[in-house]
Amino acid sequence: MKKICIIYTGGTIGMVPTSNGFAPEKGYFAGALNGIDELSSDGMPRWDLIEFEPLLDSSNIAVSQWNQIGCTIRDNYDNYGGFVVLHGTDTMAYTASALSFMLEDLDKPVILTGSQIPLCMLRSDARDNLITSMLIAGAGRVHEVCLYFGGRLIRGSRATKASADGLIAFDSPNYPFLAEAGIDIRYNKNALAKRSRGRFCLTEFHQASIGVIKVFPGIQFRLFEPIMTEGLNGIVLETFGTGNIPNYDDALLPLIRRAFENGTVVTVCSQCQQGTVKLGAYETSSALTAAGAVSGYDMTTEAAVAKLYYLFSRGLEADKIKDMMETDMRGELTL
Ligand code: ASP
């Protein structure tokens, strides 16, 4: 077992009850970890803890915290065999996707986890999620960013939060689990990313302007005109089924065309959890390609948002970004 680094960002796992509901408390979690005997038992990797300041509910985590996590991993990369990132569940799938793109040519496990019930409460799922994540990080068999929760190890760029209150809270709708933890931890060798031969590096994200627009019956596209054509670098359009939009009014296509002319990259994802976008399969989707939108295939919205941030942070031209959105970079989409 290699020594691992636990990066604690906040989230339910280390929260305590307050008069305003659960909230993180500085210093509490480090003391609580020292009280868990298993963490110093023989089968466990040795570990250090880095606690962020301030500790956050993950609703407040965005680009600057993604950079902070990425820089912490980069600065400690040579000192540890793997990393466990403790994070709130609400936006954990976004952070897992963001880190997948940020950390290039990663050769060590980076495992995000947390819990639905705080460590200090009865029936908490924190202990198992933490201990199993530490074992996976210490074993060094995965070489990518993953999310472990409720017995499932999921590729970071494929994860989505599927339950607000279940203890098996995350799913990987379009890619097999990388491992399942029952009595043993069973790795799915065929699903793991191949070891990279490149040299590990970090791309910090910039504040790009990204929007997600969910299409619904009766949507009046005209109302979106100012943000779509002027304000945004990238748009994820969550469409029906395989990429369909209503064509009862002709407002959307000119908007997409103008957005595209302004350098905005419009990526078409599906509202369905499972399956893939097939632009052109129906008349109601083929016009999207003609107007300059690109297919997100079976990417989660979380991965599409993170990928847009990543590509804009690299300062690429819109045309190149369009190409890359349709290219598999970190195992985030199936062509
Ligand atoms: N609101 C919490 C968070 O995301 C929920 C959790 O951790 O489960 O930080």
The model's pLDDT over 107-163, given as tens digits with 9 standing for 90+, comes to 999 999 999 999 999 999 999 999 999 999 999 999 999 999 999 999 999 999 999
Mutational test site, ligand 1, from 18, 20, 57, 91, max ligand atoms within 8 Å of CB: 57
CB atoms within 10 A of CB 216: 10
Single out the residue of 231, 189, 16 nearest to residue 117, CA to CA: 16
The Cα–Cα gap between 311 and 317 comes to 9
Q: Is 24 in the pocket of ligand 1 (CB under 6 A)?
A: no
- Residues 321, 311: contact at Cβ < 8 Å? yes
Write the pLDDT tens digit of every residue in 64-91: 999 999 999 999 999 999 999 999 999 9
Residue nearest to atom 3 of ligand 1 (CA): 88
Query: Residue for token digits 């009595």?
Result: 183
Start-end of H helices in 149-296: 225-226, 252-261, 283-291
CA dihedral 66, 68, 74, 77 (to 10 degrees): -100
Residue nearest to atom 1 of ligand 1 (CA): 57
Does an H or E element contain 305, and which?
Answer: helix 301-313
Q: Is 113 in the pocket of ligand 1 (CB under 6 A)?
A: no
The set of catalytic residues is 12
pTM summary value:
0.97
